[in-house]
Structure 1
Amino acid sequence: MTQDDIGRSRLPARPALAPAVRRPVVALALLGLVALVVPALIFAGDTGPSRLDLRVEKAVVESAPGGTYDLIRGIDWLGEPVGRALLLVVVTLACLAAGRRALALTSVVGIVTVTLLATALKPLVGRRIHAGFLCYPSGHTAALTAAALIVGLLLADVLNLGPIAGTAVILGVTVAGAAVTSWAQIVLDAHYPTDTVGGFGLALAVVPATALLTDAALRRTGGRRA
C-alpha cells in the first residue's frame, strides 16, 4: 500500500446528506411525516374511496394515454419484491460507483426500512380496498419514492449543488418518481390516490432520517479512530 493509499483510507467518508442540502432535506422529511400521518388519521378504518380519491381517480384514468398498459405494469413490477430488490441494487451500486459509501448504506437501510414500515403500518391504519386488501400506505409508491430520493441526493452531491439548486433537484427527482408510481397504482386500481400520498410521505420521512443516523454513526466511528 502506497503512502497515497494510506492517506486516502484515512479520509472521512462523504456524508450521506451533503452539508449544503442537509437543512432543506430535514425540512422535507418533516413535511413527509405530515403527509403520512394526516391521511392515516383521516382514513383509518375506511373501506372505500373518499370523494377526493374518486375525483383524482377519474381524472387520472381518463387522461391515461392508450397503449401504456405494458409501461404501467413495468412500473408496478418495480414495486414488487423482485423489482424492488433490483432497484435497491442498482441505486446502491450507483452510489458506490460515485464514491458515496454512506449514501450507499442509506440506500440499503432506507429502502428496506420503508418496505418494512409500509407493511407494518397497513394493519395499524386498517384502510382497505377491494373488500379486504389493506392499502395504506402504498408500499409500491414508498419504495420507488425512496429510490428516487436517494438518486436526487446523489445528484445534488456529485454535481456539488448549493442549497437552492440542490433542493430543487432532490425534490424534482423525488416527486417525479412518486408521481410516475402513483399514476401506475391509480390506473391499475391497486391503491386509492391518498394511499400513494401516504407512501410518498413515508419515503420522504424515512430516507433523510436514515441518512442522518448513518452520518451520526460515521462521525462517532471517525472520532473513535482519531
Structure 2
Amino acid sequence: MGRSPGGSARVDAPRSRPALIPALRPAAVALAIVGAVLLAVPAVLYAGQTGPGRLDSWIQPRINTPSPAWWGVLVVDWVGEPIGRLFAVLLVTAVCLLAGRYRLALTAVGAVVVVTATSLVLKELVDRRIHGDFLSYPSGHTAATTAVCLVLGLFLSDVLVLDRALATVVVTGLALLGGGVMAYAQIDLTAHYPTDTLGGFGCALLMVPATAALVDKLADRR
C-alpha cells in the first residue's frame, strides 16, 4: 500500500508485490529460527552414524506398515523425486506468474534450488547413512516438498490479503501438511530415518524465508 502525490491511497501492482508480505515478516523470522534448530541439532547428534537414534527407534515402528509400497505412499514419494519436484515447482511458479506475483515465482524456483543444494551438501558433511551406503541426512524429499508448500502459503496469504495471524496459520499449516505427508512416506518406505525428515523440514523453514527476503532485497534495489 502507498500514496499517490495527491495523497490518495493506492495499491501496489501485483508484479511489485513483495515475496514476503509485511504481515508475515515476524513469523518468517520465527520459522527461520525454528528451522535452524531443527536442522542443526540432529546434524550434530547423528553425524557419522549408520543407525537409528533413540527417537528414530521410537517413531519408526509406529509408522511402518506391513506393505509400505502402496500407491499413495509411492505417489507422494514421486513428488519428491527430481521429475516430481520439477513438476511441483513449475506448477507453483506458473500460478504465481499468472497472478502477477513475479517475486514469488522467482522465490519458488530459488527456494527449491537452495534447499536441494543445501541438503546435498549437508549429506556429505554429516555423513549419516542408511541401508549401508546411502547418505540420509537431511531428507531432500521433505525439504523440497515443504519449500513448495511454504511458497504456496506465501502466495495465498498475499492474494487473499490475510492478516498477520491468519497468514501465519496458513503458511505454517501448509508447511506442516506438506512436510508431514512427505516425511510419513519417507519413513514408511524406510528411505530415511524420522530425524532425517525433521532435518529436511527444518532446512525448508530456514531457507525459504531467507530466499524470499533476498529476492525482495534485490528487487527493491533495482
TM-score, scaled relative to structure 1: 0.89
Question: CA separation in 2, counterparts of 1:134 and 1:162?
Answer: 41
Question: CA separation in 2, counterparts of 1:143 and 1:11?
Answer: 26
Question: CA separation in 1, counterparts of 2:119 and 2:155?
Answer: 24
How far has the Cα of 1:26 moved from its partner? 1.7
Residue 57 of structure 2 aligns with an amino acid whose one-letter code is L
How far has the Cα of 1:39 moved from its partner? 0.7
User: Relative to 1, partners in 2 of residues 1:196 and 1:67: Cα closer, same or farther, differing over 3 Å?
Assistant: closer
Residue 74 of structure 2 aligns with an amino acid whose one-letter code is R
Instruction: Give the number of aligned pairs.
Output: 212
RMSD between superposed Cα atoms in Å = 1.9
Extract unaligned runs of 5+ from structure 2.
1-10
Deviations 1:95-147 (A, max 9, x none): 11222110000001110111111111101001000011100000000000000
Residue 56 of structure 2 aligns with an amino acid whose one-letter code is D
How far has the Cα of 1:77 moved from its partner? 0.7
- Which residue number in structure 2 is paired with residue 210 of structure 1? 211
What percentage of aligned pairs have identical amino acids?
50
- Which residue number in structure 1 is paired with residue 175 of structure 2? 174
The structure 2 residue matched to 1:56, chosen from 51, 54, 59, is 59
TM-score, scaled relative to structure 2: 0.91
Residue 206 of structure 1 aligns with an amino acid whose one-letter code is M
- Which residue number in structure 2 is paired with residue 22 of structure 1? 25
How far has the Cα of 1:69 moved from its partner? 0.9
Question: CA separation in 1, counterparts of 2:156 and 2:21?
Answer: 10
Deviations 1:52-97 (A, max 9, x none): 10110111125x9x89710101111111111111111001111112
Which one has the bigger helix percentage? 1
Residue 58 of structure 1 aligns with an amino acid whose one-letter code is P
- Which residue number in structure 1 is paired with residue 156 of structure 2? 155
Stretches of 4+ moved more than 4 A in 1? 8-12
- Which residue number in structure 2 is paired with residue 35 of structure 1? 38
How far has the Cα of 1:178 moved from its partner? 0.4
Question: CA separation in 2, counterparts of 1:125 and 1:10?
Answer: 44
Extract unaligned runs of 5+ from structure 1.
1-7, 222-226
Deviations 1:132-186 (A, max 9, x none): 1100000000000000111111111111111111000100001000000000000
User: Relative to 1, partners in 2 of residues 1:157 and 1:68: Cα closer, same or farther, differing over 3 Å?
Assistant: farther
**Which secondary structure state, in structure 2, belongs to the residue aligned with residue 28 of structure 1?**
helix
Q: How does 1:45-84 map to 2 (within 5 A)?
A: 45-62=48-65, 69-84=70-85
- Which residue number in structure 1 is paired with residue 118 of structure 2? 117
Asked if 1:186 is matched to 2:187, the reply is yes
